[in-house]
Amino acid sequence: MELIERYLNQARKYLPTKGREDILAEMRSHLEDTLDQRTDGNPSEEDVVNLLKECGSPQKMAASYHPQSQYLIGPALYPLFRLVIGIALAATLGAQLLAGIIALWAGNNFETAEFVAGLVNSVPTALGWVVIVFMILQSRGVNPGVDEKWDPRSLPKAEDTKEVSRGETIFEIVAGIVLLSLLVVMPERIGVYGFAGGEFYSNPVILQYLPWIYTSLALGIGFNIYLLWQGQRTVFARAMELGLDVFSIVVVTLLYKGHAAWLQARGESAVFFRLQDMAAEVTGNLQMFGMKAFAMAFGITLIVLVSVTIASLVKMIINALRQNRTA
C-alpha cells in the first residue's frame, strides 16, 4: 500500500533514532490491521485516505507514541531543532575559520594552539545554547502547529533511504575541519622533513593547488553537516555525494598530474618507481623521495576514488531501474 509507506516515511522524520524501527513496525501493523477489519482485506485507495485522515498527520501520529513529558525535545520541535543545530554548527565553524584566515592574512600574531582551542570550545557552547533554548520551548509546551487539513495524497513518495551514522558523520566533520584549519594556518609546512632535525622541503604542487583543496574540504564538511541534519541518505543526498566524489577526482587528478610534471621536469617518472631508488633517495635526495611518495599516494587515491565512484553510480542506476519496474 503505497500511501501507507509514504505516510510512514514522513512519520520516520519525527521519531528518535532509538526504537524508531519498532515504532514504525507497530504503526504499519496498526494501519494494515485496521484496514483489513474495515474492508475484509480488500481496501481501496479511498479507504486508505480516510484512515490516514482519521489518524492525523505523520507528525501527530509519531508524537502519540510517546508522551511529550518524556522528551527534552519532542517530535513536534525535533525537525526544527535539527535544522537549527545544523545552521548553528555551520555558522560557528565558518566564523572561526573566517576569523583565523583574516588574522593570518592580516599578519597578526597567530597561535595555532589558540585557534584549534577556539574551534573545540566554540562548537559545544553554540550547540549547548541551542539545546537549552529548545528545552525551554519544550517545557513551555510550544508547538509549531500542524495543519490537520492535510491530504494524504499529497504525501511525498517514499524514497530508498539509508540511516546516517551520526558518530561517523561527526568524526568526518571534525577531521575535515582540523585538516582544513591546518592547511589554512600553515600550508608551507606540508612536505618532507629530514631526519634528526635535517632540512625541510615544502611541497610546491600542493601549494599551487591549495584553493582547489580548500574548496573540496569545505564542500565535504558542508555535505556532512547536511547529512547530519537530514539523518538519512536520500536519493538527492546520494546524487550530491556522487557530485562531490567527481569533484574530488578532479582535485586528486590535478595533484597527481602536478607531481608527475614536477618529476618529469627533473627526468623522473611518476608512474614507475623502483623501491631501491626511493630507498637511496631517503638519504641522498630527500626532496625527490618526498615528491615520489606524494605522487604514489595521490595515484593510489585516484584509483580508489574512481573505483568507488563508478560502483556508486552503477548502484544508483540499478536502484533507479528497479524502482521504475515496480512503479
3-state secondary structure at position 162? strand
DSSP bridge partners of 153: none
Distance from C-alpha of 243 to C-alpha of 84, rounded to nearest angstrom: 26
Per the CB < 8 A criterion, the answer to whether 208 and 164 are in contact is no
Going from N- to C-terminal start, the domains of the chain cover: 1-66, 69-146+154-158, 191-327
- Residue 162 has phi, psi (to 5 degrees) of -135, 135
Per the CB < 8 A criterion, the answer to whether 237 and 227 are in contact is yes
Tell me which long-range contacts 50-53 makes (C-beta under 8 A, separation of at least 24).
52/3, 52/4, 52/7, 52/152, 53/152
Per the CB < 8 A criterion, the answer to whether 288 and 259 are in contact is no
- Residue 147 has phi, psi (to 5 degrees) of -80, 110
Cell triple for residue 147?
A: 495543519
Give start and end residues of each alpha helix (H) in the chain. 2-12, 20-39, 45-55, 58-63, 78-106, 112-139, 166-185, 204-208, 210-230, 235-264, 275-284, 286-326
Question: Hunting for cell 592547511 — which residue is that?
Answer: 183
Question: Hunting for cell 535539527 — which residue is that?
Answer: 82
pLDDT score of 160: 54
Cell triple for residue 91?
A: 555558522
pLDDT score of 94: 67
pLDDT score of 126: 81
pLDDT score of 313: 83
pLDDT score of 327: 47
Q: Please tell me the pTM assigned to this model.
A: 0.57
Residues near 100 by beta carbon (within 8 Å), at least 6 away in sequence = 110, 115, 181, 184, 185
Backbone Cα Rg of the chain: 26
pLDDT score of 252: 93
* Low-confidence winner among 78-82, 165-169, 188-192, 208-212 (lowest mean pLDDT): 78-82
Q: Is the pLDDT of residue 78 over 50?
A: yes
Per the CB < 8 A criterion, the answer to whether 183 and 277 are in contact is no
**Arithmetic mean of pLDDT, 69-90:** 69
- Residue 38 has phi, psi (to 5 degrees) of -80, -30
pLDDT tier for residue 198 given thresholds of 50, 70 and 90: low
pLDDT digits over 58-67, tens only?
Answer: 877 877 776 5
The neighbour count for residue 80, using CB atoms within 10 Å, is 14
Residues near 5 by beta carbon (within 8 Å), at least 6 away in sequence = 158
Mean pLDDT of the residues in the chain: 76
Cell triple for residue 76?
A: 513536534
pLDDT score of 142: 64
Tell me which long-range contacts 113-122 makes (C-beta under 8 A, separation of at least 24).
115/181, 115/185, 116/178, 116/181, 119/93, 119/177, 119/181, 122/92, 122/95, 122/96
pLDDT digits over 221-269, tens only?
Answer: 888 888 877 777 777 788 888 899 999 999 999 999 998 888 888 777 6
Q: Is the pLDDT of residue 326 over 50?
A: no
Angle in degrees, 0-180, between the axes of helices 166-185 and 78-106, rounded to the nearest 10: 10
Instruction: Name residue 152's amino acid.
Output: P
pLDDT digits over 97-117, tens only?
Answer: 666 665 655 555 556 666 667
Q: Is the pLDDT of residue 11 over 50?
A: yes
pLDDT tier for residue 189 given thresholds of 50, 70 and 90: confident
Q: Where is pLDDT greater, at 317 or 97?
A: 317
